[in-house]
Amino acid sequence: MLSSSSAVEALQQGLRCTFSLPICSAKHTRALAACAVLLTTGMAGDALAHADPAGPGETNTDMSLVLDPWVVVPLSFLGLGYMVGLARLRGASRTGGGVSPAQGAAFIGGWITIAFALLSPLDRLGGALFSAHMAQHVLLMLVSAPLLVLAQPLPVLLWAFPRTARRAIGRAGTSPAWRPCWRALTRASIAAVIYSATLWIWHAPPLYAFALENEFVHALQHSSFLCASLLFWWSILNTNKRPEGLGAAALAVFIMGVQANVLALALIFASSPWFPANAAGAQAWGLTALEDQQLGGAIMSIPGMLVHLTAGAALLVLWLRESEQRAIARERHNGRCLNSAVPPVPGR
């Protein structure tokens, strides 16, 4: 089995092509695709050999990486698919593919945040401490998701597929059956309900305990947090394309910040721990289960309010500016109409 270090060395030439040259040939693109397969295979092999996911109430203090194949493989394909798609898009457009440096940096930031949340020692610590588990959710929902939405990676990822597959996916994405569903799901109000429901449901003590005991359910929990937050932030950051506009988006962000803080405050001021499965892990780190829970609530509350307040305030400023511009344009239009309606004075 090819090791991940060997695959990384094989990938270096492809990386130089993708991020250094303005145009990549079809030969380079095929090389990148081959490197992608090699790297993913190597990382998956290492993951299967070394994966040791944290169990419920785990008390060890092992701070090694968590090479979970259910995370490594999809994350590898996501990053390498972006790289291959970017190379093909550059080769086809000869103008850089329309991907700005800021978008590229946002994608890299979002990708690294997912990797840190789910593959770093933080994931192993999350099996012992509720507060560490909460830190993972904050990173996924409030850092990675908005960065990935700002990156707008879908066109780039689409170019990672062969031409026939790209056309088929494009037709499916614009089909009359799918477009109304997507339009409904990405309304700020509906996306906010999905986002809020996901947050509250997974923090119900029985379901949270079940996620700690079952690796598949645990992976489903992380995936649903990421997907719900991607949907929410997409609806917010693309709100200028929607009839409800920036005002509704700002309101939705403020409401999401408040409801998340309600849950955080409930965790902080609870008289007894909600999640006894973490008691042994908390004790190993010198905390009681209630103190660990209170720390987790603080981790949810403080960064959450900062992100939601900042995003909501920015949207509110944009909405006020947009409203002012519309008012000025309306006054100019009314002035032109009034001038055209006044008959000219004779002799002038």
The pTM of this model reads: 0.76
Could you report how far apart the first and last alpha carbons of the chain are, in Å?
A: 92
Q: What's the rounded Cα separation, in Å, for the pair 101 and 60? A: 42
> Judging by beta carbons within 10 Å of its beta carbon (0-12, 13-18, 19+), is residue 211 exposed, middle or buried?
buried
For the chain, give me the number of helices (H) and strands (E)?
16, 0
Whether residue 206 is contained in a domain is answered as yes
Mean pLDDT value of segment 135-161: 93
Measured in degrees and rounded to the nearest 5, phi and psi for residue 277 equal -60, -25
The arithmetic mean of pLDDT across residues 196-218, rounded, is 91
124 or 266, higher pLDDT: 266
Calpha distance 238→256 (Å, rounded): 17
Residue 336 has pLDDT above 50, yes or no: yes
DSSP-derived 3-state class of residue 175:
coil
Q: What is the CA radius of gyration of the chain?
A: 25
User: Is residue 319 one of the residues assigned to a domain?
Assistant: yes
Q: With a cut of 50, say whether residue 52 has pLDDT above it.
A: no
Does a structural domain hold residue 98? no
Residue 199 lies in a domain: yes
Tokens 């991607």 — which residue? 230
Amino acid letter for position 83? M
SS3 343: coil
Residue 251, in any domain of the structure: yes
334 — pLDDT class (breaks 50, 70, 90): low
Question: Has residue 167 been placed in a domain?
Answer: no
Q: Is residue 43 part of a domain?
A: no
Residue 102 included in any domain: no
List, as one string, the DSSP characters of 108-171. HHHHHHHHHHHHSHHHHHHTT-HHHHHHHHHIIIIIIHHHHHHH--HHHHHTTS-HHHHHHHHH
Total count of domains within the chain: 1
Could you tell me the residue range of the domain that residue 305 belongs to?
A: 183-338
